[in-house]
């Protein structure tokens, strides 16, 4: 008797993949198959953890750096006539301010003072005029720094000298023939130019 034809197209078991399960090909296919753990997406909390830390550090740094100025200021600028500056003691972070008619080193932005100084030039000498009071930075006969007059003459002449570690030493003239470094007085609460110290290193921040 002739064998019956496969009218119903049943699958031919002999055509199945005959690769043994323990063959190298089968093992490779099983290893390369991605697992659920591999396909697990990154959680939002995982993505944001580092960025949150970076934001906090940036905010802290920005707050400390912009106590007296904003992001448009130019740090460690070169003193030049026609430009306005904040003059900062690099060691303490205090600024030269004219507050209630008194020249002082200020560390509190809440006090009503002005720490913006317009740089001017006369006869080759620089001067610094407070933009609020119109008074010029100068010295008196005892070498004490003050801001009392509205003119730029010999007692108000200054020469910034670049410091090798950055910043500037501020030199005041004495009788037009001697340069004295500006620094703290003995009490540490005022500025003098009397030759008894090495001088403060200042940073000029252009605003």
According to the model, what pLDDT value does residue 39 have? 45
CA distance 87 to 112: 17
* pLDDT, tens digit (0-9, with 9 covering 90-100), for 113-128: 799 999 999 999 999 9
Domains and CATH numbers, the chain: 21-65 (no CATH), 84-206 (2.80.10.50)
Name the band, by pLDDT with cuts 50, 70 and 90, for residue 68: confident
Asked if residues 50 and 44 have their Cβ atoms less than 8 Å apart, the reply is no
Asked if residues 100 and 94 have their Cβ atoms less than 8 Å apart, the reply is no
Which residue has 């009503």 as its token pair?
112
**pLDDT at 38 exceeding the cut of 70:** no
* pLDDT, tens digit (0-9, with 9 covering 90-100), for 81-96: 999 999 999 999 999 9
Upper half-sphere CA count for residue 77 (Cβ side, 13 Å): 18
Residues 6 or more apart whose Cβ sits within 8 Å of residue 129: 117, 118, 120, 135, 136, 137, 152
Mean pLDDT, rounded, for 5-25: 45
**pLDDT at 40 exceeding the cut of 80:** no
According to the model, what pLDDT value does residue 11 have? 47
């Amino acid at each position: 008797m002739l064998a019956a034809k496969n009218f119903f197209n049943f699958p031919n078991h002999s055509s199945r993949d005959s690769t043994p399960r323990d063959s190298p090909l089968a093992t490779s296919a099983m290893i390369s198959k991605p697992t659920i753990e591999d396909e697990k997406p990154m959680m939002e909390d995982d993505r944001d953890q580092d960025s949150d830390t970076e934001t906090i550090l940036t905010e802290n740094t920005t707050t400390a750096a912009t106590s007296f100025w904003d992001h448009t200021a130019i740090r460690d600028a070169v003193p030049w006539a026609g430009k306005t500056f904040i003059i900062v003691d690099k060691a303490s972070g205090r600024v030269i301010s004219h507050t209630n008619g008194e020249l002082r080193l200020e560390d509190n932005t809440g006090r009503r003072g002005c720490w913006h100084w317009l740089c001017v030039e006369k006869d080759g000498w620089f001067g610094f005029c407070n933009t609020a009071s119109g008074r010029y930075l100068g010295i008196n006969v005892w070498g004490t720094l003050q801001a009392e007059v509205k003119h730029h003459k010999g007692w108000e002449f200054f020469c910034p000298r670049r410091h090798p570690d950055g910043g500037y030493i501020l030199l005041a003239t004495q009788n037009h023939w001697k340069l004295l470094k500006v620094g703290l007085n003995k009490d540490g609460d005022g500025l003098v130019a009397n030759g008894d110290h090495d001088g403060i290193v200042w940073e000029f921040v252009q605003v």
